[in-house]
Amino acid sequence: MHGPGLRVSTAADKPLTEQMLLRAQALDPKPRWSSALGRLYAFILVGSNSSTPLNVVRTVSKADANSPYAREIRKKLADSKDADLLTAAGQYLTYARGRDTDFDPVELGKSCLERALGLNPNSTQVRGRLVGLRFGERNRRMHEILRNVPKESQYQTVSALPESERFVYLPQLAELAYFEGENADYYNHDKAATEAAWNRATRYAQGLKAKTELDVTLDDIGIRLVRTGPEPRLVRRGRRLIAKPATKPKDLPDVDLAALVEEERNRWPW
């Protein structure tokens, strides 16, 4: 056996492979053995029944995924306090989307990653994967909503969504429409298609922030968003000049600073 890159080719190999990895871990308690076990456990749970070149699950068996041995592995995973094992199992499970199983491997993988993060809150690897999953779920939801909606009607469709979703999808749609116009201009020199795409990007951009007055203009460089509300006033407090909003308090948008800080932290997990 040469390290955790051990290959598993048949279902019968897996119990033996697990025992060998557990022995190696006992003799050399380093994270790599935990990671190798986590990867093996993920393959067992989805019923992988063939070789996995480049760690890609090619075929699965429901019988193997529902075997007594697989149920035993699920229990071990549920009881594990090993952050490295949970991280590896969670990552491989979340990449098993679409496999013919009786459970959702992505949801199980997410739960493993969340537990791993609880054990090791400083893990950028786990944070990065969880953020990637959230972005993926957001994009799949947006594509599902707009699957059969013509481009010209997408703004109305998104505008009818709850605010929590609307202000997530509008920036993405504005960006997509802008680069659609860029491509139409650069590659096809299609002025009509370019203007149509940029007009849609402008419309999406106009709805990004509730209660914020914006002047949206389109020029040869791109889309410009300019705040049209009154400028802050400078007020002297002793030796200091303090900027105070000129907008009336009742007209100011509600801002949850803690939520904004948390959102920014999750966007950049490293």
pLDDT in tens, the chain (270 residues): 444 445 544 455 889 999 999 999 999 989 999 999 999 999 999 998 887 777 778 888 899 999 999 999 999 999 999 999 999 999 999 998 888 888 999 999 999 999 999 999 989 899 989 988 988 888 899 999 999 999 889 999 998 888 778 877 888 898 899 999 999 998 999 999 999 998 888 888 876 554 556 566 655 445 555 556 666 677 777 877 677 767 777 776 676 767 766 666 665 444
Element (H, E) at 145: helix 124-145
In a domain, 108, yes or no: yes
> What is the Cα Rg of the chain in Å?
26
- The model's pTM is 0.65
Determine, yes or no, domain membership for 187.
yes
How many domains, the chain? 2
Q: Angle, to 10 degrees, between the axis of helix 124-145 and the axis of helix 83-94?
A: 20
- In a shared domain, residues 128 and 188: no
Q: Is residue 180 part of a domain?
A: yes
pLDDT at 131: 87
> Do residue 204 and residue 84 come from a single domain?
no
- Report the pLDDT value the prediction gives residue 2, as an integer from 0 to 100: 45
Same domain, 114 and 204: no
User: What pLDDT is attached to residue 208?
Assistant: 59
pLDDT at 268: 46
- Domain residues for the domain of 206 are 146-223
**What is the C-alpha separation between 27 and 53, in angstroms, rounded?**
27
Same domain, 126 and 185: no
The residue from 135, 167, 201 where one domain ends is 135
- Strand partners of residue 237: 240
Residues 41 and 94 in one domain: yes
Q: What is the DSSP string of 90-109?
A: HHHHHT-TT-S-SS-HHHHH
Contact 80, 112 (CB under 8 A): no
Cβ 113 vs Cβ 126: under 8 Å: yes
d(CA 205, CA 208): 5
- Main-chain phi, psi angles of 215, to 5 degrees: -105, 115
Assess whether 7 and 131 both reside in one domain. yes
Tokens of 135: 């972005």
129 in the same domain as 150: no
Quick check: is 262 in a domain? no
Give the pLDDT of residue 226.
55
Burial of 101 (C-beta count, 10 Å sphere; 0-12/13-18/19+): middle
Q: Are residues 7 and 128 in the same domain?
A: yes
Both tokens assigned to 49: 């029944």
- Does a structural domain hold residue 47? yes
**Residue 74 domain-assigned (yes or no):** yes
For residues 217 and 172, give the distance between their C-alpha atoms in angstroms, rounded to a whole number.
19
**The predicted structure's pLDDT at residue 75:** 97
Are 104 and 171 members of one domain?
no
Same domain, 7 and 111: yes
In a domain, 120, yes or no: yes
| 251 falls within a domain | no
What token pair was written down for 50?
A: 């063939």
Residues 106, 170, single domain; the answer is: no
